[in-house]
């Protein structure tokens, strides 16, 4: 499989340089709120037009892998998920930083991302053509059930009060109703404003709820001395953390890869699902959200697991697994290469170079991550009087840069204020983001499924895949109750 030609392709010095630059750029882009992995790859794309196919595609893969990882850095350090993929990492990651253990959390995130990424690469390299056909089995009923399965995670990320979490999730889903309805073109809550036609974008909402609200809070104690210092004993994970990761990361990496294969489901959903299910299966679910290693390892291994998974339907079928893969199809087409079955048949060396490039990108990401942790943590020793305004600025620039539309900045500010007050009354904002991401997916697929099934609810039970999802939904809803009962009888608080 990895022939001499493939080695020669990938280990060409210039190609390697592009890969390393890609990963570095990706981590940088991922750290910045508003600049998502999709945006990063799209920004770098025009640079590849003048390049040969392999260096060009490896540069893009580097950015992709780096950006999905990079989102966790700002999530852990300043409670700002750099990309939607890191929204779940905030829950436990920032708790580490509050305790002054940001370095430990970053180490866990780096190694887990690496494990998740490597697992997805292995699956990509050995099983891609077989798994690709499964991707095509997904139709609207399955997508709807996947969205419902994702929404079940609200139960796991609500913190102390399930009622507050559900309320918050419902708020997200109500916000998701805004815009032109995709099945009948009815305009909902748009008030004649063209900026609302395509709905409320979840990225400025996310930046507002997490980052801006945190910055508002930062203003309250802007002249206080920093409680946490930048000093960290070691960047390498300790033994107990390694044991936790060994348990959690491979499984979540696999789950991430599986979700990545499904066209239209990406790293954000994977991270939330992994977090929720790891909590469900954990022996200490009550500690999630207080800064425990599995709370970082689960979402981070899952979101990087998506990277290899998303490439599977793209390379084998020419079908985008997520938004980034869609752009990569464009990149390959510009090179005169059509992703799909023909690519496998006619360009095996290119395909294998892509596989090897993915492995290398993950290794580079891991090394670079560990190398930079000390530098990343220095961010926390910046005085609040400088850091807080800088976060303000990043929030504004990030939400504007995404679509070059100033409306998004107002959206971000409004949700920054909402998030500030949610913090004050101890409501965790994550369910709202989940509702906003999954609400439109659930709604459009529910209605499309009924349209295709001519109004019969039987479509939701019509295929083996739908039954698997019903099983998963039942499992994730009832397991916590069962555990609580078991835990209660064992005398747990």
Q: Is 457 in the site for another protein (CB under 8 A)?
A: no
- Among residues 57, 62, 448, 466, the one that binds another protein under rule CB under 8 A: 448
Q: Rounded to whole angstroms, how far apart are CA atoms 123 and 126?
A: 5
Residue from 166, 170, 195, 379 touching another protein (CB under 8 A): that is 195
Q: Determine the Cα–Cα distance for residues 132 and 150; give it in Å rounded to an integer.
A: 22
Helix, strand or coil, per DSSP, at residue 188: strand
264 is a site residue for another protein (CB under 8 A): yes
Stretch that binds another protein, among 61-69, 98-106, 430-438, 448-456 (CB under 8 A): 448-456
CB nearer to another protein: pick between 319 and 432: 319
> Among 4, 194, 375, 490, which residue interacts with another protein (rule: CB under 8 A)?
194
Write out the two tokens for 493: 């608080």
Alpha carbons 83 and 81: distance in angstroms, whole number: 5
Q: Rounded to 5 degrees, what are φ and ψ at 201?
A: -70, 135
**Shortest distance in whole angstroms from residue 42 CB to another protein:** 3
Q: Among residues 8, 14, 127, 136, which is the contact residue for another protein, using CB under 8 A? A: 136
CA atoms within 13 A on the CB side of 288: 30
Instruction: Determine the 3-state secondary structure of 198 from DSSP.
Output: coil
Residue with smaller CB distance to another protein, 233 or 455 = 455
Q: How far apart are CA 338 and CA 329, in angstroms?
A: 8
| Structure tokens, 478 | 């009832």
- Piece of 102-110, 166-174, 318-326, 465-473 that binds another protein (CB under 8 A): 318-326
Q: How far apart are CA 390 and CA 386, in angstroms?
A: 6
DSSP letter for each residue of 393-418: HHHHHHHHHHHT-THHHHHHHHHHHH
Nearer to another protein, 134 or 281 (CB): 134
Going by C-alpha positions, the residue among 66, 68, 94 that lies closest to residue 80 is: 94
* In the complex, minimum distance from the CB of residue 183 to another protein, in angstroms, rounded to a whole number: 6
Give the count of beta carbons closer than 10 Å to the beta carbon of residue 148: 20
* Smallest distance, another protein to C-beta of residue 60, A: 10
> Judged by CB under 8 A, does residue 233 bind another protein?
no
Cα 90 from Cα 103, distance rounded (Å): 15
Q: Is 138 in the site for another protein (CB under 8 A)?
A: yes
Residue 217's Cβ-count burial label (10 Å; 0-12, 13-18, 19+) is: middle
The runs of H, that is alpha helices, within 138-238 are 140-151, 162-176, 202-206, 213-220
Pick 66 or 313: Cβ nearer another protein: 313
- What is the residue whose two structure tokens read 């507050």? 164
Contacting another protein (CB under 8 A), which of 28, 250, 285, 330? 330
User: Considering the complex, what minimum distance in angstroms separates the CB of residue 385 from another protein?
Assistant: 34
- Could you give the CA distance from residue 36 to residue 440 in angstroms, rounded to a whole number? 20
Q: Does 319 bind another protein (CB under 8 A)?
A: yes
Greatest C-alpha distance within the chain: 66
Contact between 465 and another protein (CB under 8 A)?
no
Site string for another protein, 153-192 (x = CB under 8 A): ---------------------------x-xxxx-x-----
Q: How many CB atoms lie within 10 A of CB 329?
A: 18
User: Taking a C-beta distance cutoff of 8 angstroms, is the pair 204, 412 a contact?
Assistant: yes
Written as one string, the DSSP assignment of 213-238 is HHHHHHHHTTTSPPSS-S--S-SSPP
Does 39 help bind another protein (rule: CB under 8 A)? yes
Counting contacts by CB under 8 A, is residue 452 touching another protein? Answer: yes
335 binds another protein (CB under 8 A): yes
How many angstroms separate the CA atoms of 457 and 407, rounded? Answer: 39
- Candidate residues 327, 377, 409, 413; the one interacting with another protein per rule CB under 8 A: 327
Least Å from the CB of residue 202 to another protein: 14
- CB-nearer residue toward another protein: 45 or 377: 45
Is 435 in contact with 169 (CB distance < 8 Å)?
yes
Interacting residue with another protein among 23, 24, 25, 41 (CB under 8 A)? 41
Query: In this structure, are residues 425 and 163 in contact, taking their beta carbons and an 8 Å threshold?
Result: no
Tell me, residue by residue from 43 to 62, as one string, x for binding to another protein by CB under 8 A and - for no binding.
x-xx--xx------------
Q: Which stretch binds another protein (CB under 8 A): 25-33, 212-220, 280-288, 332-340?
A: 332-340
The reply to whether 126 sits near another protein by the rule CB under 8 A is no
Smallest separation (angstroms) from another protein to the CB of 137 = 6
Residues that bind another protein (CB under 8 A): 38-39, 41-43, 45-46, 49-50, 135-140, 180, 182-185, 187, 194-195, 197-198, 263-264, 313, 317-320, 326-327, 330, 333-336, 338-342, 403-405, 407, 444, 448, 451-452, 454
């Amino acid at each position: 499989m990895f022939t001499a030609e493939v080695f020669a392709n990938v280990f060409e010095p210039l190609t390697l340089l592009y890969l390393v630059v890609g990963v570095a750029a990706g981590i940088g882009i991922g750290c910045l709120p508003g600049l998502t992995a999709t945006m990063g790859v799209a920004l770098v794309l025009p640079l590849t037009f003048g390049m040969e196919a392999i260096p060009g595609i490896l540069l893009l893969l580097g950015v992709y892998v780096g950006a999905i990882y990079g989102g966790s850095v700002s999530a852990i350090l300043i409670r700002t998920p750099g990309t939607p993929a890191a929204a779940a990492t905030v829950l436990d990651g920032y708790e580490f930083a509050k305790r002054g253990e940001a370095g430990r959390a970053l180490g866990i995130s780096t190694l887990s991302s690496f494990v998740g990424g490597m697992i997805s690469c292995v699956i990509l390299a050995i099983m891609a053509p077989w798994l690709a056909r499964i991707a095509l089995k997904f139709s609207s009923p399955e997508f709807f059930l996947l969205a419902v399965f994702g929404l079940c995670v609200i139960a796991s990320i609500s913190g102390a009060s399930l009622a507050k979490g559900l309320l918050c999730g419902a708020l997200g889903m109500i916000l998701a109703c805004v815009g032109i309805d995709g099945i009948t073109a009815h305009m909902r809550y748009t008030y004649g404003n063209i900026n609302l036609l395509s709905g409320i974008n979840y990225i400025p909402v996310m930046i507002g709820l997490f980052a801006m609200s945190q910055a508002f809070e930062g203003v309250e104690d802007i002249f206080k001395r920093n409680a946490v210092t930048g000093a960290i004993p070691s960047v390498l994970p300790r033994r107990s953390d390694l044991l936790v990761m060994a348990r959690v990361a491979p499984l979540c990496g696999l789950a991430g890869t599986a979700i990545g294969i499904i066209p239209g489901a990406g790293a954000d959903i994977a991270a939330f699902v992994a977090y929720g299910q790891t909590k469900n299966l954990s022996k200490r679910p009550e500690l999630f959200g207080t800064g425990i290693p599995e709370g970082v390892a689960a979402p981070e291994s899952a979101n990087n697991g998506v990277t290899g998974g998303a490439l599977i339907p793209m390379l084998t079928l020419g079908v985008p697994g997520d938004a980034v893969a869609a752009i990569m199809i464009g990149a390959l087409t510009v090179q005169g290469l059509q992703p799909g079955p023909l690519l496998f048949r006619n360009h095996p060396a290119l395909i294998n170079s892509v596989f090897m490039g993915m492995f290398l990108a993950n290794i580079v990401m891991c090394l670079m991550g560990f190398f930079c942790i000390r530098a990343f943590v220095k961010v926390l020793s910046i005085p609040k009087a400088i850091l807080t305004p800088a976060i303000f600025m990043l929030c504004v620039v990030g939400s504007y840069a995404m679509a070059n539309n100033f409306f998004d900045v107002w959206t971000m500010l409004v949700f920054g204020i909402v998030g500030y007050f949610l913090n004050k009354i101890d409501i965790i904002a994550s369910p709202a983001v989940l509702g906003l991401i999954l609400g439109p997916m659930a709604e459009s697929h529910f209605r499309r499924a009924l349209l295709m099934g001519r109004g019969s609810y039987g479509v939701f039970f019509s295929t083996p895949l739908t039954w698997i999802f019903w099983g998963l939904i039942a499992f994730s809803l009832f397991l916590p109750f069962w555990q609580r009962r078991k835990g209660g009888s064992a005398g747990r608080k």
